[in-house]
Amino acid sequence: MAKINIVEAVNSALAQEMEKDNDVIVMGEDVGVNGGVFRATDNLQKKFGPNRVIDTPLSEEGIVGTAIGMAAYGLKPVAEIQFSGFLFAAFDQLFSHAARIRWRSSNRYHVPLVVRTPGGGGVRAFELHCECPESYFAHMPGIKVVCPSTPYDTKGLLISAIRDPDPVIFLEPMRIYRAIKEEVPEKEYTIPLGKAKIAREGNDVTLVTYGAMAKYVLQAAEKIQDKVDAEVIDLRTIYPFDSEAIINSVKKTGRAVIVHEAPKTSGFGAEIIATINEKALLSLEAPIVRVTGYDTVLPMAKLENYHIPSEERIIKGISKVMSF
Amino acid sequence: MARKIIEKFEIEYLQVLGEDGRCDEKLMPKLSDEQIKKLYETMVLARTFDDKAFSMQRQGRIGTYIQAKGQEASQIGAIFAIEDKDWLFPMYRSIAALIARKQPMHKVLQYFGGDIKGLESPKEVNNFPISIPVGTQTLHAVGAAWAAKLKKDKNVSLAFVGEGGTSKADFLTGMNFAGVFQVPAVLICENNQYAISVPRKIQTYAETFAQKAIAFGFKGIQVDGNDVFAVYKVVKEAVDNARSGKGPTFIECYTYRLADHSTSDDALKYREKKEVEEWQKKEPIERLEKYMRSKKLLDDAYKEKTAKEAKEKVEKEVEIYEKLPMPNKEDTFKNMFEEMPFQLKEQYEEFMKNG
Ligand SMILES: Cc1ncc(C[n+]2csc(CCOP(=O)(O)OP(=O)(O)O)c2C)c(N)n1
């Protein structure tokens, strides 16, 4: 088994699915000759040709809108949106069409479309190059949302997303694209959408997170392991999401901290808390704490580390729930 | 160094059948007498349905309805130029097109009566659900045509968009993708002079909508949209070109919306009665009748028979519609996904118990 990073895991999943199924195609800005600005589609055009790895005109609604037509016709497009801040141009196409074509056509047409985009900050990137749009899409009936956090998960989840018959937003953790290397099977494998991973077992507090934050939450949990035995749940997908895993864990620990980069108000953490309240309120021994981005624009490089939950802020959050 | 003209363009206009019902035989497309009769009968059927649906809305038997009145030639002429296996991307006003394209009329009523199942396409054709957002369907038509090209199928996509829709980014970027990838798509703009109350002049300063295609590198043409022969001829050429790998065409059908924008609109707030009366004279069905009469394809008896048969067909479909059962309360949960994800399933079970 080779040790690979997340970008390579994306590449490997794409190459294997394209090899296996002629209907899988890749499209987007700079994905062809250049192999993507992050190199996620490196060499794919050489292997599969310009009709299956397509450099498109620079138009996000154009990429997603034509991909919807292609998918309804019978292809399985994987569209890359170069940076997550530019996905909003395609919001209408996703909300008004991709998400509801199966429903509107009484199952005659469906949209097996994957929209990949790098999300999240922490790389000193330019404005609008590192947004966290996951909640908008988790709130959009008809769309699934995947937020992988490791190379192994990325490959298995992307293969599942490509094989899924419905539209999937695949939000890649840009900040740790190359930060983690791990052994990933060369053979194909899938990880089901909607199943969380217990990234660390523990008994004192449940830490719920997804995407790039999983790495920092794990680090925080390790750091304080002498004082607090934390369980870390990496959700992997936020629609659907594995409420059972969260509830089981909270019933055991009685405490929860939720960590995400996206702004706090109406962020996905609110949904997790509501779910805990519905199903495990009486097991709680402390109010739930959210460690999140603020309701501000994501600041530029110099201030971004104040905004994105740091190990320190996560540890403070844990201490707060443990103080009850 | 130089300062010179490096590109010029011309836009063709086609009219085969004049307002007086006389036609230019040299321009006449190849159509048998039977085909001409079929065109006529379909146009009468669509108009009869339109009138009926309008009155049903007034009686509260369906919800808001959108009339195609006056646009039968541009819609039905176009549909006659495609095959069942081709893909149709209609908009909310494409009702005459849908009727010509085998969509049962009771299904149309079912949709406007408030049941999404009315959008379901008959099996033998590929009718996409009508687009409610203006202009966005252009991209789906181009995407499907592109997929057909990549899969080496010989299928063509046909989309309708209003002239208001041409102002949308989705339309413009759709045209651009169509040109760049030379997809087998025929994009039709029904320029009916108004987008609700906003006149055509406010959508573009350009002389024609047809010329927008020039900027994207392919052919744009304007036709008299109330002349069913011109529409058929131009769309047929475009479809043949698309099918044989010669890329997309953009067609502006110059026409007029004889009815209000919808049953919730009052067009007299923004246009003169006189203007409507002027356009009434250019109306597509009467024009075709005049032609057919001169060619002995139509006499009073045939005209009456056609009207009577159309009425009967429509009444029968109304009956089917009115006997349709209420949709099941759980229908909304179906078809959101192939398989209900956990969260939805939980809500579904709760809804079935208490909803
Ligand atoms: C994106 C969008 N904006 C606004 C509306 C509301 N609306 C419905 S029809 C219409 C006018 C469209 O005019 P046009 O494209 O010329 O088509 P027509 O209705 O005249 O056939 C408007 C503004 C809409 N449906 N979609």
CATH number at residue A111: 3.40.50.970
* Contact (CB<8Å) A65/B336: no
Compute the distance between CA of residue A138 and CA of residue A239 in angstroms, rounded to an integer: 5
Q: What is the pLDDT of residue A123?
A: 82
Q: Is B19 on the interface with A (CB under 8 A)?
A: no
Asked whether residue A191 is assigned to any structural domain, the reply reads no
Q: Looking at the structure, do residues A50 and A154 belong to the same domain, yes or no?
A: yes
Domain limit, last residue, from A184, A208, A238 = A184
Q: What is the pLDDT of residue B355?
A: 76
Instruction: Work out the percent of chain A whose per-residue pLDDT is above 90.
Output: 94
Asked whether residue A189 is assigned to any structural domain, the reply reads no
Nearest-CA distance from A166 to chain B in Å?
6
Nearest-CA distance from B243 to chain A in Å?
16
Average pLDDT over residues A308-315: 97
Residue A249 phi/psi, 5-degree rounding, is: -70, -45
Smallest CA separation from ligand 1 atom 11, residue: B195
Whole-Å CA distances, B155 to A48, B88, B122, B143, B158: 24, 11, 17, 12, 10
Q: What is the pLDDT of residue B319?
A: 98
Q: Is B117 on the interface with A (CB under 8 A)?
A: yes
Asked whether residue A46 is assigned to any structural domain, the reply reads yes
Instruction: Work out the percent of chain A whose per-residue pLDDT is above 70.
Output: 100
Residues of A in contact with B148 (CB under 8 A): 73
Split into its structural domains, chain A has a count of 2
Q: What is the mean pLDDT of chain B?
A: 97
Q: Looking at the structure, do residues A201 and A156 belong to the same domain, yes or no?
A: no
* Contact (CB<8Å) A66/B146: yes
Q: How many helices (H) and strands (E) does chain A have?
A: 12, 14
Asked whether residue A23 is assigned to any structural domain, the reply reads yes
Instruction: Work out the percent of chain B whose per-residue pLDDT is above 70.
Output: 100
The residues, ordered by sequence, that sit 6+ positions from B11 with a Cβ below 8 Å of its Cβ are B207, B208, B210, B211, B214, B220, B221, B222
Asked whether residue A149 is assigned to any structural domain, the reply reads yes
Q: In the structure, which protein residues have their CB atom closer than 6 angstroms to any atom of ligand 1?
A: B 93, 132-134, 162-165, 192, 194-196, 257, 261
Q: What is the pLDDT of residue B43?
A: 98
Q: What is the pLDDT of residue B18?
A: 95
Q: Looking at the structure, do residues A179 and A48 belong to the same domain, yes or no?
A: yes
Question: Best residue in B117, B337, B340, B349 to probe A by mutation, most A CBs within 10 Å?
Answer: B337
Asked whether residue A233 is assigned to any structural domain, the reply reads yes
Q: What is the pLDDT of residue B164?
A: 98
Give the residue numbers of A annotated as catalytic, written as ranges: 129
Q: Looking at the structure, do residues A166 and A247 belong to the same domain, yes or no?
A: no
Q: What is the mean pLDDT of chain A?
A: 97
Q: Looking at the structure, do residues A118 and A148 belong to the same domain, yes or no?
A: yes
**Identity at A181, one-letter amino acid code:** K
**Of the candidates A205, A316, A291, A203, the residue with the CA atom closest to the CA atom of residue A256:** A205
Q: Looking at the structure, do residues A93 and A208 belong to the same domain, yes or no?
A: no
* Contact (CB<8Å) B143/A25: no
Domain limit, last residue, from A115, A149, A184 = A184
**Domain containing A180: what range?**
2-184
CATH number of the domain that residue A243 is part of = 3.40.50.920
Domain limit, last residue, from A149, A184, A219 = A184
Residues 10 through 69 of chain A touching chain B, CB cutoff 8 Å: 25, 51-52, 56-57, 59, 61-62, 65-69
Compute the distance between CA of residue B218 and CA of residue B178 in angstroms, rounded to an integer: 9
Compute the distance between CA of residue B106 and CA of residue B15 in angstroms, rounded to an integer: 34
* Contact (CB<8Å) B128/A68: no
Phi-psi region of B248 (alpha: psi -120 to 50; beta: other; left: phi over 0): beta
The kind and range of the H/E element at B175 are helix B169-180
Q: Looking at the structure, do residues A245 and A212 belong to the same domain, yes or no?
A: yes
The residues, ordered by sequence, that sit 6+ positions from A53 with a Cβ below 8 Å of its Cβ are A25, A26, A27, A31, A32, A41, A44, A45, A47
Which tokens belong to B111?
A: 């949709």
Q: Looking at the structure, do residues A135 and A217 belong to the same domain, yes or no?
A: no
Phi-psi region of B157 (alpha: psi -120 to 50; beta: other; left: phi over 0): beta
Q: What is the pLDDT of residue B63?
A: 97
Q: With bands split at pLDDT 50, 70 and 90, how would you rate the model's confidence at A125?
A: confident
Give me the interface pTM, i.e. the ipTM.
0.97
Q: Looking at the structure, do residues A60 and A152 belong to the same domain, yes or no?
A: yes
Ligand 1 centroid to residue A285 C-alpha, Å: 55
Q: What is the pLDDT of residue B271?
A: 97
Average pLDDT over residues A85-94: 97
Asked whether residue A44 is assigned to any structural domain, the reply reads yes
Ligand 1 centroid to residue B264 C-alpha, Å: 13
Q: What is the pLDDT of residue A128?
A: 87
Q: With bands split at pLDDT 50, 70 and 90, how would you rate the model's confidence at B5?
A: very high
CB B21 within 8 A of CB B293: yes
Per-residue pLDDT tens digits for B179-228: 999 999 999 999 999 999 999 999 999 999 999 999 999 999 999 999 99
Q: What is the pLDDT of residue A169?
A: 98
Q: Looking at the structure, do residues A138 and A231 belong to the same domain, yes or no?
A: no
Which residues lie across from A77 on neighbouring strands? A25
Asked whether residue A190 is assigned to any structural domain, the reply reads no
CB atoms within 10 A of CB B338: 12
What are the structural domains, with CATH classification, of chain B?
Answer: 12-324 (3.40.50.970), 328-355 (no CATH)
Which tokens belong to A125?
A: 């990137």
Question: What is the model's pTM?
Answer: 0.97
Q: Looking at the structure, do residues A171 and A236 belong to the same domain, yes or no?
A: no
Q: Looking at the structure, do residues A27 and A149 belong to the same domain, yes or no?
A: yes
Closest ligand 1 atom to Cα of B161: 15
Per-residue pLDDT tens digits for B264-295: 999 999 999 999 999 999 999 999 999 999 99
The residues, ordered by sequence, that sit 6+ positions from A265 with a Cβ below 8 Å of its Cβ are A295
Compute the distance between CA of residue B283 and CA of residue B277 in angstroms, rounded to an integer: 10
Cα atoms found within 13 Å of the Cα of residue B299, Cβ hemisphere only: 2
**Cα four-point dihedral sign B249, B252, B257, B263:** positive
- Flag whether pLDDT at B121 surpasses 90: yes
Q: What is the pLDDT of residue A127?
A: 87
* Contact (CB<8Å) A62/B132: no
Per-residue pLDDT tens digits for A144-193: 999 999 999 999 999 999 999 999 999 999 999 999 999 999 999 999 99
Ligand 1 centroid to residue B196 C-alpha, Å: 7
Q: Is B270 on the interface with A (CB under 8 A)?
A: no
